[in-house]
Structure 1
Amino acid sequence: MRIFFIGTVEFSKRSLEKLIDINANVVGVATKTKSSFNADFADIVKVCKENDLNYKSIANINSAECINWIRSLKPDVIFCFGWSNLLKKEILNLAPLGVVGYHPTELPKNRGRHPIIWALVLGLKNTASTFFFMKEGADDGDILSQKKVSISWDDDAQKLYDKLSTVALTQIETFHEELKSKTYTRTPQDHSIANLWRKRGKNDGRIDFRMSSEAIYNLIRGLAKPYIGAHIEKEGKDIMVWKSKVGNNYNRNIEPGKVIQIVDSHIEVKTGNASIWLINHEFSNLPKPNEYL
């Protein structure tokens, strides 16, 4: 089975390495050598060179030049794991088995943008690792493989990213053989229960201490590395916060945003319902107790 591979993030790199490990026949790779869009960007050119794979750095995946190149390689299937641009119909219909995409949610639930971030910010207890046959819609094609993944209270973005990746790599090994032997199944999505997550904006990452401690904790862990980070706006500057812990100061007479105490550079701040400890942050000068953030 001839596979054409498209990807440009850390998960793409791990997936390509998995395909190489299982001796899959990867006939071509489309990637990028840099990206200002993907926080988890990974340069997979080195992997291609080390394994003598035919690759190109692509600015426009839907260009006639790129489409003609893919067509010339005669792929049976295209794997698109980690690509920010939509694939147009011509590519989606190019390979006999179609294009397999990846979305780390329990499709048809939670289609759309920033799936790992939103799952943590919203405090979900479970998500899923889902491979599906891509169509022109957003994450709405038939499901090829889906495995549920639990989200622990101490999972941040990197931990959940790694957890999902580990599950996904086992799925790749299984459905690669199923596609190769044509024993795979396609499960149509129930569009009546689908929802679409929107693109995250800068204001979505701003910490508002009127929020509950749990909501602030979820926001911080959801935007932790490899992503952009949650931030506090102070004196016209954005101060990033990477890790926090829910506190237990329930004094209703203290206003949200007030610094309660500082211990070893850890800052306890009053929230809408309790308090939050800012554990890993980028304050160049620590605030003082009773100061407001």
Structure 2
Amino acid sequence: MTKPVAVVFAYHNVGVRGLRTLLARGVDVALVVSHQDNPAENIWFESVAALCSEKGIRCITPDDPATEALHQTVAACNPDFIFSFYYRHMLPVTLLTLAKRGAYNLHGSLLPKYRGRVPVNWAVLHGETETGATLHEMAAKPDAGAIIAQTAVPILPDDTAFEVFGKLTVAAEQTLWNALPGLIAGTAPRLQNNLAEGSYFGGRKPEDGRVDWSQSAQNVYNLHRAVAPPYPGAFFDQNGHRFVIGKARLTDQEVRNLPIGLQVIDNTIFGVCGDGRAICISELLLDGKPVSAEQLTKLF
């Protein structure tokens, strides 16, 4: 039997696991389109380019996926499938039509919820208790095509976005692994992706990580979890210094008689919030270095 041919747009851990899954299922990956790593970004994830080098797969990193040159390069591969695994650009419809048997994307949410950018971070920020990975057809709108398969994962109360992303990487692999036989055989289901029942979110800006201590402790804690390292971290300015929360936990300790913001109580650092509750900060960073409760007392 002739192997199905795929062109894959991929980046990040999901890109690596998606590629490995295609290869394990016997798909011929003729070309991978990826991104150049940004030196200003914390590259904590696996490299698609390194995997392609290991497997002898051609990998290119054009700045724009909408050029005629890339269109011709993909067309020359005569792909049965086009896949997108955490590739950061929308693919033009003219490119998608080159895939004779369909173009599919792995998205890090249970569509139609959390369409758009950084869905894991948004889900944690909003206090969701469940998310997942969805394999869906690509369309002109982002994350709007028919759903092929989904796998759910829990978001535990203290999970950070980094921890949830680890679960989603496995869920994405499982989703793709289970769906591929049906895609290859032409028998995969296509379920309605009802956008009216979902939500769309854009990318997050650095300023979105700023802590507002007047909010509830749960909301502040959710922000911390959503952007905790290796993401840039929730930050705030106090007494002329900029602090970043490295590690924290929600606490039931009553702090109603203290001003909101950073406080040291019994040699422990707390962030006092607007509802009279606090988060206990076990790692506070100043200029990238941990600050102890004793050091903080001297600063203030």
Question: TM-score, structure 1 length as denominator?
Answer: 0.91
Select which of 60, 76, 89 maps to 2:93: 89
Counterpart selection for 2:297 from 269, 288, 293? 288
Query: Deviations for 1:61-89, whole angstroms, at most 9, x for unmatched residues?
Result: 11111110110001101010111111112
Partners of 1:237 and 1:21 in 2: how far apart?
51
Say if 1:151 and 1:30 are closer, same or farther in 2 by CA, change over 3 A.
same
1:175 maps to which residue? 179
Correspondence for 2:123: 119
C-alpha separation in 2, matches of 1:52 and 1:209: 51
1:5 to 3, 8, 12: 8
Distance 1:280 1:268 in 2: 10
TM-aligned CA deviation for residue 258 of structure 1: 4.5
Distance (Å, rounded) in 2 between the aligned partners of 1:151 and 1:202: 24
Deviation string 1:123-174 (CA, Å, 9 cap, x unpaired) is: 0011121111010112111001112221111211111001111111111111
- Asked if the contact 1:249/1:270 (under 8 Å) is kept, the reply is no
Residue of structure 2 in register with 1:55 after alignment? 59
* C-alpha displacement of 1:187: 0.9
**How far apart are 1:226 and its partner, in Å?**
3.5
The within-5 A match list for 1:37-56 is: 42-56=46-60
Partner Cα distance (1:236, 1:20) in 2: 53
Instruction: Choose the corresponding residue for 1:29, options 28, 32, 52.
Output: 32
Q: Using the alignment, how far apart are the partners of 2:11 and 2:160 within structure 1? A: 22
Post-superposition offset of 1:290:
11
Equivalent residues of 2:13, 2:169 under 8 A apart: no
Pick the aligned partner of 2:106 from 102, 109, 116. Answer: 102
Answer yes or no: is the 8 Å Cα contact 2:83–2:103 preserved in 1: yes
Shift of 1:29: 0.6
Identify unmatched segments of 5+ residues in structure 1: none
Maintained 8 Å contact 1:224/1:242: yes
> For the residues of structure 2 that align with 1:226 and 1:140, how far apart are their CA atoms?
30
Residues 17-74 of structure 1, C-alpha deviation per residue, up to 9 Å, x if partnerless? 2223333211111112323578666432221121111222222111111110110001
The answer as to whether partners of 1:258 and 1:269 remain within 8 angstroms in 2 is yes
Q: 1:269 to 1:61 in 2, by over 3 A?
A: same
Distance 2:71 2:146 in 1: 24
Distance, in Å, in 1 between the alignment partners of 2:240 and 2:119 is 30
Structure-to-structure mapping, 1:182-197, within 5 angstroms = 182-197=186-201
The letter of the residue matching 1:3 is A
Higher deviation after alignment, 85-94 or 222-231 = 222-231
In 1, are the aligned partners of 2:214 and 2:274 still within 8 Å (CA)? Answer: yes
Q: Secondary structure at the match of 1:282?
A: strand
Tell me if the contact between 1:157 and 1:225 (Cα under 8 Å) persists in the aligned partners.
no
Residue 254 (structure 2) pairs with residue 250 (structure 1):
yes
The equivalent of 2:157 in structure 1 is: 153
Asked whether the 8 Å contact 2:110–2:133 carries over to 1, the reply is: yes
Q: Which amino acid aligns with 2:124?
A: L
Who is 1:203 aligned against?
207
Counterpart residue identity of residue 270, structure 1: V
What is the number of residues matched between the two proteins? 289
Q: Provide the C-alpha distance between the structure 2 equivalents of 1:157 and 1:250, rounded to a whole number of angstroms.
A: 27
Aligned twin of 1:272: 274
Contact 1:105 1:127 in 2 (8 A): yes
Unaligned ranges ≥5, structure 2: none
